[in-house]
Structure 1
Amino acid sequence: MTYCCAIKVNDGLIFAGDTRTSAGVDDVRTYNKVHVFEFPGDRVFVLLSAGNLATTQAVIAQIRRDLDEPIVPMSLRLARYMYDAAEYVGMLSVNAQKTVSSQTQYSSVDLRTTFILGGQIQGEEPSIYMIYPEGNCIASSPETPFLQIGEHKYGKPILDRVIKPEVSLEDAARCALVSIDSTMRSNISVGPPIDLAVVPKDALQVTHKLRLDIDTPLFARIRDAWGRQLAASFRNLPKFDWEAPPVQGNLLDDEAPAA
């Protein structure tokens, strides 16, 4: 399976995704799900994928072929708006599903793929779009400034509580990593390494791209700090009326703290 998320805040965009594609007892495979297409000074796109791997690879391959062709009706280089780019990827996805379906003998195979396309075209605001297998798409909103694909339910609560448009880009990136860590703890089909991409507003490029494994120092510290502080916060929750107050120790009258 997969878990990827994209976050839009006032300062820019964050993209994160795991790399696990199978998780058998003795067969763990990985595949890059964060795909970057940069045209410095003009536009930048990051494409996240979840679903059938053959369909995903067909879409990525066609995007790259269209970029290399001198004359094509549409490509990421030619899209005037981010919405146009999202519709273009949706069209490629629908066509790829039909092509892959005609090449397989197993009619029961699920060939659907869901994408998140984000980025910025010069003169337009940064944006992120969810692209469904049917080819249609929706954008994020100020009320929910993030999109998720794959095994999203385990990592959604932290995003709901933390992500707001005014959150800093770095805090949004940390939140994305915690969201993926929470998902990995609850679902073995989502696993490391984790890919993280940062696109500041108006930079028109990916300024930071990291691959983080479980033992990568930064990711290890974030996981450890989050676990310890979450446990500490739980211990400090309000007590029920019937609970005895915590024992402070046997203090003599003259040792009692002043009021």
Structure 2
Amino acid sequence: MTYCIGYWLEKGLVFASDSRTNAGVDYISTYSKMHVFQPASDRLFVLLTAGNLATTQAVLNWIHRDLDRASGDDHEGGKNLQSCEYLFEAAAYVGQVSLAVQRQDGPALKEVGADVGASFILGGQVGGESHGLYMIYPQGNAVMATRETPYLQIGETKYGKPPLDNVGHANLSLEDAARLCLISEVLTQRSNLTVGPPFELAIVPRNTLAISHQVKFEADAPELSAMIETWSNAQREALYRLPHFAWEQSTPA
């Protein structure tokens, strides 16, 4: 019951997420799905979450606990976001934490038919390595975004995919990619009740180890109304410009 996007670009990273976790006739709740970690000056991580809310919250608590232990007086060992030397190690760590939480809570939840699974998008930069973006599956393994496949999605992905496929590429500006991700969120909301605002955006320019812009759009934000109106008008114009059928071009006798 969510939709999150991570976009890898030559110039940096863009993240977008909705905030809906449950939807029904009489019960709708919202939680932020975007979480920022900067445990040291040489690294920045943005984590997007989808799936079982209890699992994702437990994973976040586990990550914070491990960082607290690493910074404590006893300097307890173990893997954490501060000790990872590469971004792929951080993705593997989050996957391991997710698996541990699922093993701990899974049996009880499965007895009542609940899905304990969760998926994540992790992006950022560590030290002098290039910026990167990973999608972490419920099974704990991860795949990396590439120039050929620059965006990653988790949650309710199908409705917002067409604009990303048709317009997106790795050489977009950060602002154009942010607009593309946001319209993908808005279009998904129009087709699926389980996705909804507030929508959050974050932009991380390459090699800055900092978020340059982080914005939250509430349901009544004028930018969202203007965006969907502009997009709908452009789609309507494109429809009228599509090639005509042969019978439309024939002249009646």
1:48 alignment partner in structure 2: 48
Q: How does 1:1-259 map to 2 (within 5 A)?
A: 1-39=1-39, 41-70=41-70, 71-101=76-106, 104=109, 106-243=111-248
| Contact 1:39–1:205 (Cα < 8 Å) also in 2 | no
Structure 2 distance, partners of 1:93, 1:114, is 8
| Contact 2:12–2:205 (Cα < 8 Å) also in 1 | yes
Q: 1:208 to 1:39 in 2, by over 3 A?
A: farther
Q: Secondary structure at the match of 2:232?
A: helix
What is the one-letter code of the residue matched to 1:178? I
Q: Percent identity?
A: 47
Structure 2 distance, partners of 1:170, 1:48, is 19
What is the one-letter code of the residue matched to 2:111? Y
What is the one-letter code of the residue matched to 1:226? W
Structure 2 distance, partners of 1:185, 1:218, is 15
Structure 2 distance, partners of 1:2, 1:193, is 11
**CA deviation profile, 1:35-84 (whole Å, cap 9, x unmatched):** 11124641111111111111101000010111111323111111100000
Structure 2 distance, partners of 1:13, 1:223, is 23
Structure 2 distance, partners of 1:40, 1:10, is 24
Q: Relative to structure 2, which stretch is displaced further, 12-21 or 41-50? A: 41-50
What is the one-letter code of the residue matched to 1:2? T
Structure 2 distance, partners of 1:149, 1:16, is 11
Deviation at 1:222, TM superposition (A): 1.6
Structure 2 distance, partners of 1:49, 1:242, is 51
Structure 2 distance, partners of 1:40, 1:94, is 26
Structure 1 distance, partners of 2:222, 2:40, is 31
- Give TM-score, length-normalised by structure 2: 0.92
Q: Mind listing any 5+ residue stretches in structure 1 that lack a counterpart?
A: 246-259
What is the one-letter code of the residue matched to 1:45? F
Deviation at 1:18, TM superposition (A): 0.7
| Contact 2:40–2:82 (Cα < 8 Å) also in 1 | no
Larger radius of gyration between Structure 1 and Structure 2: 1
2:73 alignment partner in structure 1: none
| Contact 2:4–2:18 (Cα < 8 Å) also in 1 | yes
| Contact 1:214–1:220 (Cα < 8 Å) also in 2 | no
Q: Supply the RMSD in Å over aligned alpha carbons.
A: 1.6
Q: 1:111 to 1:105 in 2, by over 3 A?
A: closer
What is the one-letter code of the residue matched to 1:12? G
Give runs of ≥4 in structure 1 deviating > 4 Å: 102-105
What is the one-letter code of the residue matched to 2:49? S
Q: Relative to structure 2, which stretch is displaced further, 216-225 or 190-199? A: 216-225
Q: 1:236 to 1:105 in 2, by over 3 A?
A: closer
Q: Mind listing any 5+ residue stretches in structure 2 that lack a counterpart?
A: 71-75
What is the one-letter code of the residue matched to 1:46? V
| Contact 1:196–1:210 (Cα < 8 Å) also in 2 | yes
Deviation at 1:167, TM superposition (A): 0.8
Deviation at 1:230, TM superposition (A): 1.5
Q: 1:105 to 1:155 in 2, by over 3 A?
A: closer
